[in-house]
Structure 1
Amino acid sequence: MKQENKNVKTFSQHLDERYGKIGNPARTEFEIKAKSFAIGELIKEERKLAKLTQQQLAEKIGAKKSFISRIENGRSDIQLSTLYKLIELGLGRKVNLTIL
């Protein structure tokens, strides 16, 4: 017989309780910050694969090291043109956006 623990919640349930349902302003803000963090992690991973320091990547795109650090730590909103510069010019990779 399967025993259920009523205290265990799904991640979605946790987010609903903490930030409200999808569409709630607090939930939207959380989702935006989570996406910024994920983009920063992706850039950091690709930078390391390219064997570049933050300083070297910054120099390749004409930015400051602190800007690269803020992006990698999810603390900076970036424009699509900046994302393009980072990925394509700085890291030599291609940007492919998919909207689902």
Structure 2
Amino acid sequence: MMSTKNNTITTFEEHLDKRYGELGSLKRTEFEIKAKAFAIGEVLKEERKLAKMTQEQLAEKTGTKKSFISRIENGHSDIQLSTLYRIFEQGLGKRVNLIFS
């Protein structure tokens, strides 16, 4: 914990450790996966709207279903990497780059 004068401030990492367990724990890993799925969904929704496309139009362009696009945008789908590439690159004309650290 960080201290400033008489106040104690909990860092975000400490909050996550307390709520979901330390990095590497099953509960924390599940949380991290869900958080990333949510983030991907938000990026997809934003890029689709910037392209002035409906979920139905994007689904048609990429050979998926509107309900699947909706599930991704809401962070409720475990998307395959090949599908992610197809939706962003073929459907939205965006390049996908992965970074491993």
With normalisation by structure 2, the TM-score equals 0.91
Identity %: 68
- Compared CA separation, residues 18 and 57, structure 1 to 2 (3 A): same
Q: Which residue of structure 1 aligns with residue 7 of structure 2?
A: 5
Q: Which residue of structure 2 aligns with residue 69 of structure 1?
A: 70
Please list, as runs of the form range in 1=range in 2, the aligned pairs for 1:1-100 lying within 5 A after superposition: 3-6=5-8, 8-100=9-101
Q: Cα deviation per residue 1:19-74 (whole Å; 9 max; x = unaligned)?
A: 11101100000000001111111111110111101111011011111100000011
Which aligned runs of 4 or more in structure 1 are off by greater than 4 angstroms? Answer: none
**Secondary structure class of the residue paired with 2:7:** coil
* Structure with greater strand percent: 2
**Secondary structure class of the residue paired with 2:27:** helix
Backbone CA RMSD of aligned residues: 1.1
Residue segments in structure 1 that go unaligned for 5+ positions in a row: none
Question: Which amino acid in structure 2 is aligned with residue 12 of structure 1?
Answer: E
* Structure-2 separation of matches of 1:4 and 1:70: 46
* Structure-2 separation of matches of 1:4 and 1:91: 52
Shift of 1:99: 1.4
